[in-house]
A = this chain, B = another copy of it.
Amino acid sequence: MEKIRAYFETKLQLTDEYWQLFSNHLEEKKYSKKSFLTEAGSTEQYLSFIDKGIVRLYIPGEIDDLTFGFAFEGNFVSAYDSFLTQTPCNYSIEALVDTTVWQISYDNLQRIYEISREGNFMGRIAGESLFLQKSRREISFLKDSAEQRYLQLFTQHPQLIKYIPLKYIASYIGITPQALSRIRKRIT
């Protein structure tokens, strides 16, 4: 539970009362490898903080999945659009390894939003940080090559290569597994 408090304290000054208020609503949950935190078609009920593990976000396809995100220890993950709008989502979130998270439910979060300014502040901060992430990725698609995106991914998350199948990474950077295999060969 220290990790999640530390995360918030990088973003705002957190009073003890407020932390109490928030952390009272947190629940620990464990997901085994290949199980779903959220399944396509369902409505996201939780905002989760990854205490340990790695997850993958993807749109399931008849032929191939479309992997569009990963999340690691020390970050929030959620089918955030589904969570916000409380409508069914079109993608799944899957644990790539055994994963432990702290979760807050939609209803409890709304309650916090209602009773405290910090709540809404936090909601804003979370939304804003997700927005900034996507913005960076947009620019990367416009101006970097697949090879550059691959290299960036590994300077940011060196542990990736160990736990994440190549085909998911290929999908994430927007190329086929064959192409990524060749890129990898070329640069090593």
Contact = CB atoms under 8 A, between A and B. Distances in A.
Interface in A45-84: 59, 66, 68, 80-81, 84
Interface stretch (A16-24, A97-105, A136-144): A136-144
B128 A84 contact: yes
Interface stretch (A31-39, A116-124, A160-168): A116-124
A31 to B, nearest CB: 23
A141 B139 contact: no
Contacts of A41: none
Number of copies: 2
B120 A68 contact: no
A111 to B, nearest CB: 13
Interface in A89-137: 113-114, 117, 120-121, 123-124, 127-128, 130-132, 134-135, 137
Given A117-B117, A132-B81, A134-B135, A141 B141 contact: yes
Interface of A: 59, 66, 68, 80-81, 84, 113-114, 117, 120-121, 123-124, 127-128, 130-132, 134-135, 137-139, 141-143, 171, 174
Q: Which 6 pairs of residues, A with B, have the shortest CB-CB distance?
A: A120-B120, A127-B127, A134-B134, A141-B141, A131-B131, A123-B124
